[in-house]
Amino acid sequence: MNRIQLLAAEIFGYSYANYKDHLGIGNVRFDEMMPRQAEALDKAETENWAAEEISRTLDISLDQVPGLRASYQRARSVVDAPNPAESFRTAVRQCVDLALDEGLSDEESREKLVKQICYRASDLGFLLKSRGESLNKYSRHLRKDADCDYYDGYFEEEDD
């Protein structure tokens, strides 16, 4: 999948594998509509479009623009992360933040969070497989701790 397709999957809440399964089978929504919207949002962000222009271009109400912009920004932070491990960390952080905002107070809400983290693990696996890389390559990135004294420069060499 290309960057725009990954953005579309993120923006519209699909796992990468599920999105890929819908590509190339004649599904106009996945092959054309969602990527076109993701590309327009990407361009809108780069060119700093006004909400009215986004509304007009995407044929959505002005009230929908802030939510879609926020979805795009979250998606971009995941898709444009420097490596798959950082993408995963960002995505999991977003899941946890949302769960906390919604109230993580009962078994159902905890299970919902666990399910989302599992989806994010699946996306990490998808990214690694598409790059021909193993999880071990990013072991240090996944274990990093910004508060420890050896953090600076520690991650420049990747695990073999």
Q: Where are the domains of the chain?
A: 1-80, 82-144
CA distance 138 to 134: 8
What letter would DSSP give residue 25? T
CA distance 112 to 17: 19
* pLDDT value for 143: 86
Share of the chain above pLDDT 70, in %: 90
* pLDDT value for 147: 56
User: How do residues 131-147 score in pLDDT, each as one tens digit?
Assistant: 999 999 998 888 876 55
As to burial, measured by CB atoms within 10 angstroms (0-12 exposed, 13-18 middle, 19+ buried), residue 13 is: exposed
Confidence of residue 152 (pLDDT cuts 50, 70, 90): very low
- CA-wise closest residue to 17 among 125, 138, 113: 125
Using an 8 Å Cβ cutoff, are 71 and 38 in contact?
Answer: no
